Amino acid sequence: MKIKIIGVGKLKEKYLKEGTEEYIKRISAYADVEVIEVEDEPIPKNPSLAQEVMVKAKEGRRVLDKVKQSDYMILLDVAGTELDSVDLSKYIEKQMLDGHSTIAFVLGGSLGNSEDVLERADYRLSMSRMTMPHQLARLVLLEQIYRSFKIMKGETYHK
């Protein structure tokens, strides 16, 4: 099993880097993990709708270049389906049992995702209706993936 995390932008804060490194190390006991950062597009101050569409399109192309046709793509999307940790674990396990050898989790940029990315997604997952920086969302996602594997294996993990 391989887990790919594809995120727009680089982690800058030390505490986020350390947290993501820790969860990548923990997940690697269960699956191969690859984190791919794609360049975020500069956003003009007070962008027009056309400029926002252009930014999302450029970032979207960069993201989709990293997703293979055979990857099962889960897009983090505020309008997606909310799952609790147990249901996320069951969902990931189902994809594994259905023969998907790579699950690619995609975190878009600060303006959201392009239509191409939305259309490519096999599943849209919402971590919360609350707004959070996508760098923090990456850390939370990694923790939830780790928790999912612990649940799948019936291993204890703090609740």
Give the residue numbers of the binding site for S-adenosyl-L-methionine: 76, 108, 127-132
Distance CA 159, CA 156 (A): 9
21-25 long-range contacts, CB within 8 A, separation 24+: 23/139, 23/142, 23/143, 23/145, 23/146, 24/142
Query: Which candidate, 109, 108, 107, 111, places its Cα nearest to that of 48?
Result: 111
- Check residue 11 and report its DSSP letter: -
- % helix, strand, coil for the chain, step of 5: 45, 25, 35
Residue ranges at the known binding site: 76, 108, 127-132
* C-alpha 3, offset from chain centre: 10
